[in-house]
Amino acid sequence: MLPYNSRMPLEPGSRLGRIRIDALLGAGGTGAVHRGFDERLERPVAVRELQSGRRTAVVRARVLRDLRALATLEHPNLCRIDDVIERPDGDYVIQELVDGETLRDRMQHPLDRAEAVQIALRVARALAVAHSAGIVHRNLHAGNIIVTPAGEVKVLDFAIAPVAAETVRPGGETAPLRAINLDERNTDPAGEAAILAPLPAGLTPEISFTTISSMSPEHARGLPVHTASDIYSLGVLLHELLTGHSPYAATPSTSELLDKVRTADIAPRDTGSRELNTLVRRMTALKPPDRPSAAEVITTLESVLTRPTRSRKHWTAATIAILVLVAILVLVAILR
């Protein structure tokens, strides 16, 4: 039997049970993705290899548990998971093959406010469904959100990204990073304010500039992540959708970026809407309890989207009332 992290590469024409591997679609920090064909269901699928060498047995168990839970969920904004295959050489996720462009690519062209809010709303709906099942995304950013040619939004890669404390350090160490209380800010009397300082020099593929800029403060500090951590990441994404710029775009180095993320050092730009400004500020609050739930985010975004319709209805009603009043006054004048 092969050791767990001695993965045999998947080549075109090879098989994973009923799945035929057709082509490599791409590779990233969370594993390679292949185009495959499910010969039992007779449809194309995506086959994602899960990185194994960087995961402890506990982390692997958590990832597999969450993926199995995801496979029971159905939602138009969630990438469907068909199966999780465990093999001696590693684990594989069989999932819906989604055609389209990443939201990162879509954002290369300006978005109007309605489209930006609509995209954020659909992502929030996906989070709400996953959170209700106790599943945290852990790595939400524009690169793992797909916009299809029909304009549908699909959120990919739930649960598979390790948090900072699960990331292998240089030399293969897997000891967790020491957690810092969120109230410490930039002060640390023990002289260990840069507790994650070794991270930039030994970044694993999972931890990139894009990933760090989407992290919640507790994630970047090595503290446990939870549903409120996803809300923070969505707040950063909403800011970027509405303004066209990451709130950390001008940060010159990874170490400075980590410092800003750890302390939620964000100065949101004006989105042109007081309600959206308030929402982004709440979603990117330093302390998790100060952030809204996914359901609250959905309610606010739906309100923003429907306000023009409500305003037109109110204006129409007011116009009709005025016309009726004028007609009554004219009639009264005529009768007199």
* DSSP 8-state symbol, 73: -
pTM value is: 0.77
Q: How far is CA 280 from CA 142, 239, 292, in A?
A: 16, 7, 10
More confident call, 293 vs 323: 293
d(CA 67, CA 157): 10
CATH number (domain holding residue 15): 3.30.200.20
Residues 266, 191 share a domain: yes
Residues 241, 113 share a domain: yes
* Residue 48 half-sphere exposure toward CB, CA atoms < 13 A: 26
Please name the residue that has the structure tokens 């609250």: 296
Dihedral angle over CA of 256, 260, 262, 267, nearest 10:
-170
Residues 153, 82 share a domain: no
CATH number (domain holding residue 293): 1.10.510.10
**Per-residue pLDDT tens over the stretch 209-259:** 567 889 999 998 888 899 999 999 999 999 999 998 888 877 778 888 888
Domain that holds residue 77: 1-97
Which residues are bridge partners to 50 per DSSP?
Answer: 91
d(CA 28, CA 111): 27
Task: Identify which of 81, 56, 263 has the alpha carbon closest to the alpha carbon of residue 180.
Answer: 263
**Domain-located, residue 128:** yes
**Per-residue pLDDT tens over the stretch 176-201:** 333 334 443 333 333 233 333 333 33
**Per-residue pLDDT tens over the stretch 97-128:** 999 999 999 999 889 999 999 999 999 999 99
For 84, list phi and psi in degrees, rounded to 5: -125, 120
**Domain-located, residue 234:** yes
Residues 281, 170 share a domain: yes
What amino acid is encoded at 248 in this protein? Y
Residues 249, 141 share a domain: yes
Residues 296, 151 share a domain: yes
Residues 208, 74 share a domain: no
